[in-house]
Amino acid sequence: MPVVNWLKRHLVVIAGLVTLAYLLLPNVIVTVFSFNKPKGRFNYQWQQFSTDAWKDPCGVADMCGSLSISLQIAFWATIGATLLGTMIAFALVRYRFRARGTVNSLIFLPMAMPEVVMAASLLTLFLNLGAQLGFWTILIAHIMFCLSFVVVAVKARVMSMDPRLEQAAQDLYAGPAQTFLRVTLPIAAPGIAAGALLSFALSFDDFIITNFNAGSTVTFPMFVWGSAQRGTPVQINVIGTAMFLVAVLLVLTSMVISNRRNRQKA
Amino acid sequence: MTTDNSGDVRLSGISKTYGSFTAVHPLELTVPQGSFFALLGASGCGKTTTLRMIAGLEEPSSGTVHLGDQEVTHLPPYKRPVNTVFQSYALFPHLDIFENVAFGLRRRGIKSVKKQVEDMLELVQLGEQARKKPHQLSGGQQQRVAVARALINTPKVLLLDEPLGALDLKLRRQMQLELKRIQTEVGITFIHVTHDQEEAMTMADTVAVMNAGRVEQLGSPTDLYENPNTTFVANFLGTSNLIEAEVDSKSGDDIVLRAGGGKLVLPESRCGAPTTTGGKVLVGVRPEKISLTHADDAGEIAENRNRITGKIADSSFIGVSTQYVIDSPVCPEFEVYAQNIDRDARLVPGAEVVLHWNPAHTFGLDAAQDIDAGVAEVEEEAA
């Protein structure tokens, strides 16, 4: 009976831990296998511990090139989508114009449509326009599908913003530019940041749309997929682990900063 | 000119229409420098729109706004020497209290703000809270921050848009006195928008009662209360008993009226309506001006008082006074507030009574108006 009681009391915690483990298991596997020294070309079976891959992350031909292309595309797609998306979100919330309802629903389309369909229709568009497939077509495609996520994130934030805050700023001698920089933007910032982070993540690991519209350009997800046909170098695990660590580190830093700030205030 | 009039607010013919809806009908209003002025009315009466036109947050459809001798009608809000305390305060959530208060000074390019901000926070007793964020403060404290943030700019005019609406009753009373004290101390013109008649009467020197986009009446609180010009003012400010009566004759400065079977006397100077013999007027009297005497003692009532007979329908004891509802032939629900000085044990529901009052406390209104105007709004507020 005491066992049952103990279980009852801690059921929520246990369920939480199990879910967390389930979520993190793939990351753990990736990390563990980044220290593997596989026999043959496939890194699917544990052989022995080694730091070879970590010492030479770019040791595989073309991999770091594709990584760099992916990072560049993700960076510019984030900038483009965040800028455009923020402006669209403000327009949709603040102004009443004729096509407002239509735009509002069209924005959701890229989120709802199957990626393959979107990829294929984009390819048709680019071919008809005679555009050369490559870096720029990928970037355009990425900005397009990241846009809706930014709009959704920023819109939620702008909608919950009291319009009287901007009026108060104007009342306190802030002109339109000052009002935007000192009040509107800082308050909308969490929404914009969330949109930007989502964009970066979505763009960086997109495969389907990229694969259709890349031409001869190879991004990191394409490289991973391609190499998986012939063999999986340990370096892929190294890059994956490194990305994961960077993300965790960013989250932890922001948590520490906001904690410290709150403690100063109290 | 010898007197400083730079804090005068003059509205001439300003109006505001939204499509076919007129929020404010052309309005003439002058608020003299240094006064505490209240715009009083139910929600939707145009009082906030009027305030926002003074602040520059709303463009008037017609007319002009002057501050002192300067016309500001088309100046944007950030170029007007007025500041606003917003309903729900509109404190900047991302800035701490210090930066909220310093906002106006910084935007005008003033570098050393520390001393001024600290002094202002002292004035509103929030020196300790300077580094907190607005959401960490209580409603009353946030309200004081909003006042400090506006006052630090020493505006010509301070506009207050229902600043106490979100506070509980006790805190509201306290803040009313506090605001009045601050106004007296700084001597700035305050224009205060409220739907709370008690708040307007406690704080303001002059009150403008607004209804459906128009100013119904403007005057000092006592003047409005004692001499209402319209049924709306009579009912919205406190409670009035209104009786329809017919003009019988005139004697000297008084008008003699017939109501039901009896006669009532109304001083001509207190009647705002045309009085031709045989015409109708509404006779009003405030519940606390009326004395209640048991019908058995009717003979003891002085001869020159207005009197009405009736039967007590209901009485409620509320400590300092007892409120009676009297059923009388001239008015089914006559309200009487009696001070509990000497309570007559016979005055219980069902007792026959005589209501009587000094004719000088009677006021006369035009009978062509809705007798219940302003009543519904009061009930809504209480609900």
Q: Domain boundaries in chain B?
A: 9-226, 240-382
- Of A263, A158, A141, A251, nearest to A203 by C-alpha is A141
Asked if A173 lies within 8 A of B78 by C-beta distance, the reply is: yes
Task: Enumerate the residues of chain A whose CB falls inside 8 A of the CB of residue B87.
Answer: 164
Domain A61-232 has CATH 3.30.110.30: no
Residue listed under structure tokens 């105007």 = B373
Q: Are B50 and B11 in contact (CB under 8 A)?
A: yes
Asked if A168 lies within 8 A of B55 by C-beta distance, the reply is: no
- Cβ atoms < 10 Å from Cβ of B17: 14
Name the minimum distance, in Å, from the CA of A177 to any CA of chain B: 11
Residues with Cβ within 8 Å of residue B341, at least 6 apart in sequence: none
Asked if A171 lies within 8 A of B93 by C-beta distance, the reply is: no
Chain B touched by A96 (CB under 8 Å): no
Residues with Cβ within 8 Å of residue A86, at least 6 apart in sequence: A150, A154, A188, A192, A195
Q: What is the pTM of this model?
A: 0.79
Q: Residue B261 has what pLDDT?
A: 74
Of B84, B92, B108, the CB nearest to A165: B92
Task: Enumerate the residues of chain A whose CB falls inside 8 A of the CB of residue B96.
Answer: 265
Burial class (CB in 10 A: 0-12, 13-18, 19+), B322: middle
Of B92, B108, B150, the CB nearest to A183: B92
Chain B touched by A51 (CB under 8 Å): no
Interface test with A, best of B58, B78, B132 (most A CBs within 10 A): B78
Task: Enumerate the residues of chain B whose CB falls inside 8 A of the CB of residue A170.
Answer: 56-57, 76-78
Helices (H), A34-62: 52-55
Of B82, B93, B149, the CB nearest to A187: B93
Name the minimum distance, in Å, from the CA of B382 to any CA of chain A: 27
Residues with Cβ within 8 Å of residue B254, at least 6 apart in sequence: B265, B266, B267, B268, B359
What span, in angstroms and rounded, lies between the C-alpha atoms of B175 and B164? 7
Q: Low-confidence residues of chain B, pLDDT below 50?
A: 1-2, 378-383
Task: Enumerate the residues of chain A whose CB falls inside 8 A of the CB of residue B92.
Answer: 165, 168-169, 183, 187
Chain B touched by A250 (CB under 8 Å): no
Interface test with B, best of A96, A173, A179 (most B CBs within 10 A): A173
Of A165, A173, A183, the CB nearest to B104: A173
Question: Longest C-alpha distance within chain B, in Å?
Answer: 79
Asked if B90 lies within 8 A of A167 by C-beta distance, the reply is: yes
Residues with Cβ within 8 Å of residue B164, at least 6 apart in sequence: B143, B172, B175, B176, B179, B194, B196, B199
Q: Residue A187 has what pLDDT?
A: 92
Burial class (CB in 10 A: 0-12, 13-18, 19+), A188: buried
Q: Residue A150 has what pLDDT?
A: 95
Strand B36-40 with B189-194, pairing:
parallel
Q: What is the pLDDT of residues B254-281, one digit of tens each?
A: 888 888 778 888 888 888 777 778 888 8
Q: What is the CATH number of domain B9-226?
A: 3.40.50.300
Q: Residue A148 has what pLDDT?
A: 93
Dihedral, CA of residue B378, residue B381, residue B382 and residue B383, to nearest 10? 120
For chain A, the domains span: 1-57+233-266, 61-232
Q: Low-confidence residues of chain A, pLDDT below 50?
A: none
- Of B157, B84, B96, nearest to B130 by C-alpha is B96
Name the minimum distance, in Å, from the CA of A82 to any CA of chain B: 21
Sign (positive or negative) of CA dihedral A132, A134, A140, A145: positive
What span, in angstroms and rounded, lies between the C-alpha atoms of A57 and A69? 16
Q: What is the pLDDT of residues B328-354, one digit of tens each?
A: 888 888 899 998 888 788 888 999 999
Asked if B78 lies within 8 A of A170 by C-beta distance, the reply is: yes
Q: Residue A264 has what pLDDT?
A: 62
Of A168, A175, A265, the CB nearest to B90: A168
Both tokens of B58, joined, read 């709303």
H/E/C letters for each residue in chain B? CCCCCCCCEEEEEEEEEECCEEEEEEEEEEECCCCEEEEECCCCCCHHHHHHHHHCCCCCCEEEEEECCEECCCCCHHHCCEEEEECCECCCCCCCHHHHHHHHHHHCCCCCCHHHHHHHHHHCCCHHHCCCCHHHCCHHHHHHHHHHHHHCCCCCEEEEECCCCCCCHHHHHHHHHHHHHHHHHHCCEEEEEECCHHHHHHHCCEEEEEECCEEEEEECHHHHHHCCCCHHHHHHCCCCEEEEEEEEEEECCEEEEEECCEEEEEEHHHECCCCCCCCEEEEEECHHHCEEEEHHHHHHCCCCCEEEEEEEEEEEECCCEEEEEEEECCEEEEEEEEECCCCCCCCCCCCEEEEEECHHHCEEEECCCCCCCCHHHHHHHHC
Q: What is the CATH number of domain B240-382?
A: 2.40.50.100
What span, in angstroms and rounded, lies between the C-alpha atoms of B68 and B32? 9
What span, in angstroms and rounded, lies between the C-alpha atoms of B181 and B175? 9
Q: Residue B165 has what pLDDT?
A: 80
Of B76, B132, B133, the CB nearest to A170: B76
Task: Enumerate the residues of chain B whose CB falls inside 8 A of the CB of residue A171.
Answer: 55-57, 77-78, 82-84, 150
What span, in angstroms and rounded, lies between the C-alpha atoms of B156 and B10? 13
Both tokens of B78, joined, read 């950030």
Asked if B92 lies within 8 A of A171 by C-beta distance, the reply is: no
Interface test with A, best of B49, B86, B129, B158 (most A CBs within 10 A): B86
Name the minimum distance, in Å, from the CA of B338 to any CA of chain A: 46
Burial class (CB in 10 A: 0-12, 13-18, 19+), A131: middle
Asked if B88 lies within 8 A of A162 by C-beta distance, the reply is: yes
